[in-house]
Amino acid sequence: MFTFRLPAKQFIAAFDIDAQKTFTPVCPDELPVTEGDKIVPELNAQAEFAALRVASRDAHSPYAKWIATPEHPCLSPIKGYPDLDLYWTKHAIVGTTGFDFIDGLDPEAYAFQSLKGIEPDKHPYGACYHDLANKRSTGVIEFLRQHGITTVICGGLATDYCVLNTVLQLKDAGFTVILNKAACRGIAPDTTKAALEKMKAAGVILVENAAALQTLR
């Protein structure tokens, strides 16, 4: 039976995926995830195992074409734009509180930040590409490779959307990926369970919390 062991710290990065106030109860009119503001201690704890810490953030325009309206409610499909699939409640608008990191996360701690969804006609979920087809790189994969990273420990919001997509993108790029479940929260129980199963099937290593990383040394 294969037993995974963490490599030396110099080969490990910690990835905080969309750990922003827009996805927490701090911003109840945006896209709050239950207990989304509770993940900070776990994100900080997992970073202790890594030589590099990187982050992604939704960075949206107030004129984005995916913003829901009474005629086009949240989660209804969008047609006519290859990099948009659903309408969403306005969130993570640059310059607003929702765009900010959750309290307790230090923006200066990140060696690289992937800003996604800047263009009004694009709404990617994964942090590694600007488009839904995974063609236009945000640069984070290249940054990790440039620094010799082989293993990425992930956490963030939300498990069943941006975390899922980012983790699978990293796995497809050839990294060993570890998901810290305690550093994540999902939107709904059924989709969160399905996301965890999909990640595990793809070869992602799931751990219950940062303390469990000690057992992988």
- Please tell me the predicted confidence (pLDDT) of residue 3: 81
Quick one: pLDDT at residue 116? 97
Centroid of chain to Cα 102 = 13
Query: Tell me, what's the pLDDT at 31?
Result: 98
**Cβ neighbours of 67 (radius 10 Å):** 19
Average pLDDT by consecutive 10-residue portion of the chain (217 residues)?
Answer: 86 98 98 98 98 98 98 96 97 98 98 97 98 97 98 98 98 98 97 98 98 94
So what's the pLDDT on residue 2? Answer: 61
- At 18, the amino acid letter reads D
Q: Give the C-alpha separation, 178 to 87, whole Å.
A: 30
- Tokens 């409610």 correspond to 73
- Give the integer Cα–Cα distance in Å for 16 and 210: 13
CA dihedral 113, 120, 183, 49 (to 10 degrees): -20
The CA distance from 30 to 141, in Å, is 29
- The edge-to-edge listing of strands for the beta sheet with 176-185 is 112-116, 52-58, 12-17, 151-157, 176-185, 205-207
- Specify the DSSP element, H or E, that contains 154: strand 151-157
Q: Which domains does the chain have, with CATH numbers?
A: 9-216 (3.40.50.850)
> Encoding tokens for residue 30?
């945006």
pTM: 0.97
Q: Which pLDDT belongs to residue 24?
A: 98
Q: What is the pLDDT of residue 145?
A: 98
CA atoms within 13 A on the CB side of 44: 11
Give CA separation, 12 vs 15, 142, 170, 175, 182, in Å.
10, 15, 13, 10, 19
Q: 60: part of which helix (H) or strand (E)?
A: none
Four-point Cα dihedral 174, 199, 14, 100, nearest 10: 120
Cβ neighbours of residue 96 under 8 Å, at least 6 residues apart? none
